[in-house]
Amino acid sequence: MTENKFSKYLLYAVGEIILMVIGILIALGINNWKENKTEIKQQNLIFENLNLELNNNLKNLNSAIEFSETYINSTEYLLLSMNNRATNKFKSEKLDSLLSTFGFSQWKRTNLNIKSLENSGRLNTVENNELKKLIYDWLSLIEDLELLERRSDYSFQYYVDFIKKNGSWREIDKYMLERVQGSQILQSNDHLLLSSEFENCVNDLNIFETHKYNRYKQIKVTLNQLIEYTE
């Protein structure tokens, strides 16, 4: 009789343990489900914000590409004219107007959401391997572009400083700002066309802008793919 009671108690205890384990597993499962649901919700929000950011970057990139094309054409035209001095018919107004089209790097972009993915560790949880690869490609392309932009902007600053020292910025500014009347001291920058140093300045501008333009086009392909994957 005692043995029978013990067996019943043992079965009851085992049953209680099994129920307890099942309860714990269910609770853990529910908790994991909630955590996964929260993680998916947060990741979807990041991708939604990322898509908006990428579309805005694409819009600004298209503008930068247009500016870059004009920039390259202007520098090439100027270099061609300098190489053909015997028949050069450049007039002061045309030269100064052309010089006013040069400038610093133009692509204004943000990278907050991709950086957020990377810094939070969520990038490693992205299941789509193609999307993950595109994000890493994007980060690498932007890093390379930033180096080109620094070199390009340095060349442009050198060009600016050269004209400040050897020419007239007021003659150039009057094509960018209506209130500027032009210089009364040096009314032409034509003499710069005979300067080998100025030619080198323009050549550097052309080379670095061409490199940037090619990188812009490459980035645009990746950017369009990222937008498609995050829609």
Q: How far is CA 223 from the centre of its chain?
A: 9
Residue found by looking up tokens 């810094």 in the block: 119
pLDDT at 129: 87
Indicate if the pLDDT at residue 94 is higher than 60.
Answer: yes
Contacts of 68 (CB under 8 A, 6+ apart): 106, 209, 212, 213, 216
Indicate if the pLDDT at residue 203 is higher than 90.
Answer: yes
pTM of the model: 0.76
Contacts 24+ apart (CB under 8 A), 214-219: 215/141, 215/144, 215/145, 215/148, 216/61, 216/64, 216/65, 216/68, 216/107, 216/145, 217/65, 218/141, 219/61, 219/138, 219/141, 219/142, 219/145
**pLDDT level of residue 4 (50, 70, 90 thresholds):** low
49 and 113 in contact (C-beta within 8 Å)?
yes
* Token reading at 212: 């940037």
**pLDDT level of residue 69 (50, 70, 90 thresholds):** very high
Q: If you average pLDDT over residues 98-122, what whole number do you get?
A: 82
**CA nearest 186: which of 164, 205, 165, 171?**
171
**pLDDT level of residue 194 (50, 70, 90 thresholds):** confident
Indicate if the pLDDT at residue 36 is higher than 70.
Answer: no
DSSP code, position 123: G
Q: How far is CA 125 from the centre of its chain?
A: 23
**pLDDT level of residue 189 (50, 70, 90 thresholds):** confident
More confident of the two residues 10 and 113: 113
Q: 133-155 pLDDT, tens per residue?
A: 999 999 999 999 999 999 999 99
**Mean of pLDDT over the chain:** 82
Contacts of 57 (CB under 8 A, 6+ apart): 109, 110, 223
pLDDT at 6: 58
**pLDDT level of residue 55 (50, 70, 90 thresholds):** very high
**CA nearest 97: which of 190, 172, 185, 189?**
172
Considering 39-43, 80-84, 193-197, the range whose residues carry the highest mean pLDDT is: 193-197
108 and 200 in contact (C-beta within 8 Å)?
no
Indicate if the pLDDT at residue 90 is higher than 80.
Answer: no
Tell me the CA end-to-end span of the chain in Å, nearest whole number.
Answer: 71
* Token reading at 167: 């020419």
Indicate if the pLDDT at residue 1 is higher than 70.
Answer: no
DSSP code, position 105: -
Indicate if the pLDDT at residue 186 is higher than 70.
Answer: no
More confident of the two residues 72 and 8: 72
